[in-house]
Structure 1
Amino acid sequence: MAIVEPPKPATHLGLPRLILLAWRGLWRELRSGALVTMFLALVIAVSAVTAVGFFTDRVDAGMRAQAAEFLAADGRVESPDSLLKWQQKASELGLTTTQTLEFPTVILAGEHTLLVSLKAVGAGYPLRGALTISTGAQQQKIQQEPREGHAWLAPRALALLDLKVGDSFQIGQKKFTVSATLQREPDVGNFLAQAAPRAMINLADIPATGLVTPASRVTHYLLLAVPSGVSTNVLQAFGKSLPADLSLERPENSQPAFKTAFDRAARFLGLAAMVAVLLAGAALMLAAQQYNRLQQDPAALMRAFGVQSRHILYLYTLRLVFLALLAAVPGIALGGLAQFGLSALLGSLLDFQLPPPSWLPVGFGVSIALVALLGFALPSLIRLQDTPPLRVLNRQLAAPPTAAVLLFGAGLLAIGLLVWLQARDAWLTTYVTGGMVISFAAFIGIVWLLLQALRRYPARGVARFGLARLARSPWSSAMQIAALTLGLTALLLLGVVRGDLVSTWQNQIPNDAPNFFAINIQPDQVPELTRFFQTNRIDDAGLVAMHRARWTSFNGKAVNADQLTGQAKRLAEREFNLSVMPEHLAADNKIVAGSWQPDAQDAGWSVEQGIAKTLQWQLGDRLTFVVNGAPVTAAITSIRTVDWNSMRPNFFVLGSAVLLPRQSAQFITSFFLPSPNVEQQKALLRAFPTLTLFDLNQILNEVRTLILRASQAVQYVFLFTLLAGLVVLLSAFAAGEAERIRETAVLRVLGASHRQIMNSLWFEFILIGLLSGLLASIAAGGLGALLALKLFDLPWALDWRIPLYGLAAGVLLAALFVPYLGRRVLALPPARSLRG
């Protein structure tokens, strides 16, 4: 009877020992280069995310700190009617209050007239923040209203009226003295300038002007502040006591244009950073698979020495955690430095100094490193614990391959978690995750099918060797080529598509776009004004009739604004501006449903797509508007999209000529005046004193500046995407390097010449490059169209050069990699290659 020795007990490793071994192994492999690709991918991912995180954190903190100044108060109530009753109630509750009044009016100064936005402010204004005025060369900040009989005018108003500090002018029935130039108001800011320049007076002067009557269209504001020692709950209680037609506006939801612009910029920057993270994740998956192959011998050796399987798993998990923490340090440091560039690009658009960043992005950067590495890399290393101990003696034995479902599921979970951490938006997470998974799966499927087809191609010579290498492991080759395609897609997006997007965005507002709007043009003035434009060579957009109307009936039923909510309710309550359908539709209007029938016998309306969606209008619906006291009813015959950036007169609703008679219309137009244009404005106002002129130059300059800075910031963040794409390319090429070295060693043993080996490598990698370049150009074109239409709301035309750039990039990558790989293959003796 044979004596069987009991199995040797498994070696037990305690946590301190595991930590020490994991750290030593990590340091050794970093020095050997085995983990360099993973390390670089993590550093880039953390840098991109923390750069955007630090910047948006500073903007959010600054906006919160300055929020009360955006309202000049802690709360504000807006109404078309007097708010005196509510001011008294707020005072009884212990709140500090003041009122302001705003409406457009005309200033008379000698022979000059000018439309201004008049703001009358009560005692104590502003309750929060400060006004900036100047009486000479120096500016000063004050917290008080103008004295009675005095006015503060914006610099543009002074220039157009030929006034200076100390001069007099008239508003309505009262004369005022210019006592200062108004540079800035806390509740307006300079982010988006006003079309009409500001004039500010004391609220007590309003009765003497005779401009405000019960029938006047003015806007009343009640400003509220919580005194020191009074609970903020008092302000909340006051807001709840307001009737349904009034609401308390808080600082956090004020300045919607300002907040929306920066929210969108921050969101896009975050998405750009997330593309870098996802590309880094693809690099991590490829690098982890290569690392798995390298670590099978050490894992088998540990198994042979009796180390428990679970301890091997703990060891590699700890190694990844240490790698994530190690990469997070330079990543966070680089992100902290990079955010200063973002602050320089976009911070100058803010009306406040950005505060120092908090430590929150640091924690977020560490989380990104851990989630990315454990989600993308750990699944490839899990099966190392099952490496057979006999691999020490038989190199053909290997660890069981990681289940494709495990890899796919873990990567999907990691992508979803990363996008959600960045965006905190469930729908956005779903879209991005679904898009990435579908794209990557499509790449793999297409490449696999092509490789299957190529296997049947009767190739000869070196082409046969190259195809054989690719077809021998079609799934592995498909994964590598798909990852390479992702990297090339990122490069094409950065180098070509992004440039086209930015150019299209910037060209939305050309340098000669109309920068003035003129309204209150009477029908009998149209011929004379047209001659004035022609004589002075002023390029105008044409004089367009405009009718003021109210929407009163929908499909035969009276419109009840109280039954609507939000934007729909506001639209139903206000007056509409209607115009007549021109004979030919302008280029900035496009029909998306119905037909254009300006002269048809069956009169109809053409409505803008956005307002149709808001008010749930459809083709065939019958709308009734009261125009000049008479009801006008017709059906909707077409729905249009409108490019509002054209700066031309455009309308939500257009009607057939038979619906809107010319006699009841006023006319409007827009036109371009080169800068400086003060004298031309004066000449126009002298010739047509009843004309009302809106200067859009400052608004256009602000918008152009925003577009320029935002596009620069996007390019800045996409540098991280470029780096991540390069790391993906490095990982994709390195993933199969060892296998190719062994295969070419076999060919050399069988008598293949150096030339034949190099030619086979050239054939293989040019084929890979062309295939990846073609797929990447298709993906980049699709992504560019998606970004243009969904994110930027811009028109998009496919650039025919993208496929050429994609194919050229693929060939260039082959040209760069093949000589390097050829030197590696031919420098090693075949015997050493086969042993290694």
Structure 2
Amino acid sequence: MAWRDGRASISRLLLFMASIILGIAAVVSIQLFSENVQQNIARQSKVLIGADFIIDSRQPPNDRVQAIIDSLGADANEVNFPSMAAFPKNGAAKLVQVRGMKGNFPFYGTLETEPAVAAAEYQQKGGALVDATLMLQYDIKPGDSIKLGVITLPITGAIHSMPGRSGISTAVAPTVLIPFRFIEQTELLQLGSRKEYQYFFVAPEMDLDQLEETLDPVLDAENADLDTHTSTSRQIGRSYGNLGKFLNLAAFIALLLGCIGIASSVHIYIKEKLTDVAILKCLGASRKQTFFIFLIQIAAMGLIGGVVGTVLGVGLQQALPFLLEEFLPFDVQMSISLPPIFMGLLLGVFMSVLFALLPLLGTWYISPLEVLRVSEEQPVQSKKARVFTFGAILLFILLFSLWIFKDWLFALVFVVGIFVTFAILAGISALFIRAIKSYFPTAWGFTARTSLLNLFRPNNQTTVLIFAIGLGTFLISTLYFTKDILLAKTALDNGPDNANIILIDVQPEQREDVVASIKLTDSEVIDNLSIVTMRMHSIKGKLVNEIRKDTSSTINEWVLNHEFRTTFRDSLIASESVIEGSWVEEVKPGEGVTISISESLAEDAKIGVGDPIVFNVQGVLMPTTVGSIRKVDWTRLQLNFMIVFPKGVLEQAPQFHVLTTHVSDNARSAALQRELVHKFPNVTVFDLRQIYTVIKDILEKISWVINFMAFFSILTGLIVLIGSVRTSKYQRIKESVLLRTLGARSKQILRITALEYLFLGILGSLAGILLSLISSQLLATLLFEESFVPSGIPFLLFLPGIVMLVLAIGLSNIKSVLQSPPLEILRKVG
């Protein structure tokens, strides 16, 4: 019976099946991809860092750290730092990451260069290897030269790939690799330089977890760090685990939309079958038999949908590495594992049965007498059965959310958010229906009145279509608004009062000359700050070394190991405000030193106003007291500091300077950078416009990935929409044929249908956009801490586009009514 009845209803069942295919395809592809990423991370962890483990430090290793390095026997070492590089061939200048290497690094993976021999010969020949993209950008070729500080080196090759290089970081500061012996000759490492010393070790047989457990606390106490390939693997795994959570979330949303499609399609399908069920019961069929006839149909369609979705997901996973290659530090070798495939097949059957169960219960409680009744009332279902079904659906969504987020709180919040959104859309549809009933426009013409009646009479599709249209529009609009918020954070105010060039590592004897060079380009100095580096020696009377050993301490570890760059001034700047205590402008001789700290530092260091802190200022201990706590807007283009001293304290301390200016165009920026590199090779220039261009490009790529993943949810929503409208086709055909039989013209039927779906399209899409405005405002305020100015695109593009789509699908339903005689159509659908 299930097979016979299914053959006659195959078109409606196929639409039901289509609702879940894309959701399952998304889940299967992302699960396969996530497993492949984790396997590749484990397999390539040594290649990612080029060694078995690394010891690194922000300063030359002290005696204790050097003794540890010597005892372990470093196989290679380097010092790396950002600096300006000049190309004498064309006079260009560019911010680069200089890596001075000693030894045959890398030990795992490959240093790929062009020509290939350059990787092995650059140290012996005393040349430089330069990032291939940078060489292409400035038309530099092997054999040309590069100037770093006061020395000029020949370029022996271009770097195509290298362990330890991040694609995103190299976009801001491309890599330049030189022999370690030339670092001192460059004269680039001066007071304030942001440098890092790294020592690479090969020890394939060593227990690295034990080594990390033993040495890491010792090195942390000496302001050094140990990174093993296994810890790096775990760290990268966590990072891309978050990416996997997002991808799974997008797939889960597609699944939920598919579930709505299942429930709505089966609801309409079973509603039309209730008379057949009553007839079967009159002929002696039991409750269980009639229930299982349709349950078998649904389960079979779910299994077919699971198979198709799984096959599609296997094919789709091959595309994900190309979409995400910008964010992966390694090449992903794809393979197929069985668990995600079995999960896809099981999800197809389980979801289909679970979300079809509630409408299927109608077959259980239908009375045989219904065959003799003409009633639109639904059979009364058991309250226990409905509660059990709703509970099973809720439990499924909660457990699936927990599997994605791995956190009960996040899963619970997500589920609550889903049901709040559903409840709002259901409430909107209910209020809309009530408003039409209460304020029905009896003075309107027959066509308009009939279209409004269709929205609340029996067999109406108002709630189902508002759900499908509203959710699809909500998702699209939220993604669009979120992209605008992210890109707004990178917007650069090009006004003359806002700095777009930052000069750092300016030494005291260079300060006036650098100011003069800036003024030669018709630019003005905006900020001229002194920077003093220091570390915390004690906090609230307790030594930092003792706090490190205290396992009960709640102070964030970075505070104990961080080298703070502080400044001194007598006033606040636009990006900060005092939220506790009072600002001290200047300290007179003999007075105690009162400092101001940022709100974030106060929270991480567990300190407040009045607490004492002793700083180690390059060997000199300086007692201070916290006088105020500032709220700092770190997103503003200002030189912000965690710690600010008043005037009269640090003027004589060893220091370097940071200057900022504004240049009006690229030509002036390039001229200033060439001038500074020529006169002051140690000064590093950050062109914020170039950096923000890179960030904007990265965000646009992320946005593209988000939109691609949202495509599954959106397309599933459209299929649900099509299925919901098309499944009601036969009921609409009967009604339209009756209207034609009673004398209605084709134009009238067309207008009635068009107006009905026009009302639904406008209401559903408008509700979705308005909900997306609320969610985007919450995201902007709570997550991004950014002002939200909504774009008009969703109202001008998404709203009319979705309305037209709904209208086109609705009108396609009555095409056969307008083209065929009424009796012929009634025979087909009767």
Q: Structure 1 length as normaliser, TM-score?
A: 0.77
CA distance in 2, matches of 1:245, 1:490: 50
2:528 to 530, 543, 549: 543
Do the aligned partners of residues 618 and 518 (structure 1) sit closer, same or farther apart at CA in structure 2, a change above 3 Å counting? same
> Aligned pair 1:440/2:413, yes or no?
no
CA distance in 2, matches of 1:210, 1:534: 26
2:106 aligned partner: 126
Matches within 5 A, 1:322-471: 322-347=300-325, 350=328, 352-360=330-338, 361-394=340-373, 396=375, 399-401=379-381, 405-406=387-388, 408-457=390-439, 459-461=441-443, 462=446, 465=450, 468-471=453-456
1:7 aligned partner: none
2:215 aligned partner: 242
After superposition, give the CA deviation of every residue in 1:448-505 in whole Å (9 maximum; x if it has no partner).
24433443325314566555554456997445433432233234346x5366356536
Structure 2: runs of 5+ lacking an equivalent: 220-224
> Aligned pair 1:715/2:692, yes or no?
no
Contact preservation (8 Å) 2:54, 2:200: yes
Do the aligned partners of residues 141 and 342 (structure 1) sit closer, same or farther apart at CA in structure 2, a change above 3 Å counting? farther
CA distance in 2, matches of 1:698, 1:262: 27
CA distance in 2, matches of 1:508, 1:400: 63
Matches within 5 A, 1:620-639: 625=615, 629=620, 630-639=622-631
2:657 aligned partner: 667
CA distance in 1, matches of 2:234, 2:491: 25
Contact preservation (8 Å) 1:281, 1:372: yes
Q: Which amino acid aligns with 2:627?
A: A
Contact preservation (8 Å) 1:541, 1:649: no
1:286 positional shift? 1.0
Matches within 5 A, 1:26-175: 26-30=6-10, 33-78=11-56, 80-81=61-62, 83=65, 85-86=67-68, 98-102=75-79, 104=81, 125-133=105-113, 138-140=115-117, 146=123, 150=126, 152-154=128-130
After superposition, give the CA deviation of every residue in 1:540-563 in whole Å (9 maximum; x if it has no partner).
763333232334565676655414
In structure 2, the residue corresponding to 1:543 is in which secondary structure?
Answer: strand
- Percent same amino acid among aligned pairs? 20
CA distance in 2, matches of 1:116, 1:738: 68
1:777 positional shift? 1.6
Q: Which amino acid aligns with 1:343?
A: P
After superposition, give the CA deviation of every residue in 1:163-209 in whole Å (9 maximum; x if it has no partner).
9879999999xx99869557354234544238585454469x99999
Contact preservation (8 Å) 2:576, 2:633: yes
1:280 to 236, 243, 258: 258
CA distance in 1, matches of 2:802, 2:152: 72
1:101 positional shift? 4.6
1:488 aligned partner: 473
Q: Which amino acid aligns with 2:604?
A: T
In structure 2, the residue corresponding to 1:126 is in which secondary structure?
Answer: coil
Contact preservation (8 Å) 2:598, 2:629: no
CA distance in 2, matches of 1:74, 1:28: 65
2:789 aligned partner: 797
Do the aligned partners of residues 756 and 350 (structure 1) sit closer, same or farther apart at CA in structure 2, a change above 3 Å counting? closer
1:192 aligned partner: 169
Contact preservation (8 Å) 1:776, 1:806: no
CA distance in 1, matches of 2:477, 2:827: 37
2:566 aligned partner: 578
Contact preservation (8 Å) 1:515, 1:697: yes
CA distance in 2, matches of 1:670, 1:255: 39
Do the aligned partners of residues 519 and 814 (structure 1) sit closer, same or farther apart at CA in structure 2, a change above 3 Å counting? closer
Matches within 5 A, 1:701-712: 703-712=695-704
In structure 1, the residue corresponding to 2:657 is in which secondary structure?
Answer: strand
Do the aligned partners of residues 373 and 167 (structure 1) sit closer, same or farther apart at CA in structure 2, a change above 3 Å counting? closer
CA distance in 2, matches of 1:749, 1:124: 89
In structure 1, the residue corresponding to 2:334 is in which secondary structure?
Answer: coil
Contact preservation (8 Å) 1:324, 1:369: yes
After superposition, give the CA deviation of every residue in 1:80-118 in whole Å (9 maximum; x if it has no partner).
445565467668xxxxx6252536599999999999877
Contact preservation (8 Å) 1:76, 1:223: yes
CA distance in 1, matches of 2:582, 2:735: 68
Matches within 5 A, 1:494-533: 496-497=480-481, 500-501=484-485, 503-504=487-488, 507=491, 517-522=502-507, 525-533=510-518
1:287 positional shift? 0.9
Contact preservation (8 Å) 2:324, 2:705: yes
2:222 aligned partner: none
Contact preservation (8 Å) 1:104, 1:115: no
In structure 1, the residue corresponding to 2:109 is in which secondary structure?
Answer: coil
CA distance in 2, matches of 1:534, 1:210: 26
Q: Which amino acid aligns with 1:492?
A: S
In structure 2, the residue corresponding to 1:545 is in which secondary structure?
Answer: strand
Structure 1: runs of 5+ lacking an equivalent: 1-20, 92-96
Contact preservation (8 Å) 1:444, 1:478: yes
2:725 to 730, 733, 753: 733
CA distance in 1, matches of 2:802, 2:690: 46
CA distance in 1, matches of 2:739, 2:184: 100
After superposition, give the CA deviation of every residue in 1:767-814 in whole Å (9 maximum; x if it has no partner).
434432332122121233355566667653223564566764575456
Q: Which amino acid aligns with 1:98?
A: D
2:632 aligned partner: 640
2:679 to 687, 700, 719: 687
CA distance in 1, matches of 2:48, 2:685: 27
CA distance in 2, matches of 1:657, 1:520: 21
In structure 2, the residue corresponding to 1:455 is in which secondary structure?
Answer: helix
1:720 positional shift? 2.0
Do the aligned partners of residues 87 and 685 (structure 1) sit closer, same or farther apart at CA in structure 2, a change above 3 Å counting? closer
After superposition, give the CA deviation of every residue in 1:240-279 in whole Å (9 maximum; x if it has no partner).
4436234753324428997677555444333333322222
Contact preservation (8 Å) 1:292, 1:380: yes
Do the aligned partners of residues 69 and 797 (structure 1) sit closer, same or farther apart at CA in structure 2, a change above 3 Å counting? same
Contact preservation (8 Å) 1:624, 1:634: no
1:323 positional shift? 1.6
CA distance in 2, matches of 1:357, 1:622: 58
Do the aligned partners of residues 363 and 178 (structure 1) sit closer, same or farther apart at CA in structure 2, a change above 3 Å counting? farther
Do the aligned partners of residues 526 and 119 (structure 1) sit closer, same or farther apart at CA in structure 2, a change above 3 Å counting? closer
1:615 aligned partner: 605
Do the aligned partners of residues 705 and 61 (structure 1) sit closer, same or farther apart at CA in structure 2, a change above 3 Å counting? farther
Contact preservation (8 Å) 2:761, 2:807: no
In structure 1, the residue corresponding to 2:659 is in which secondary structure?
Answer: strand
CA distance in 2, matches of 1:372, 1:510: 53
Q: Which amino acid aligns with 1:186?
A: P
Contact preservation (8 Å) 2:576, 2:632: yes
Q: Structure 2 length as normaliser, TM-score?
A: 0.77
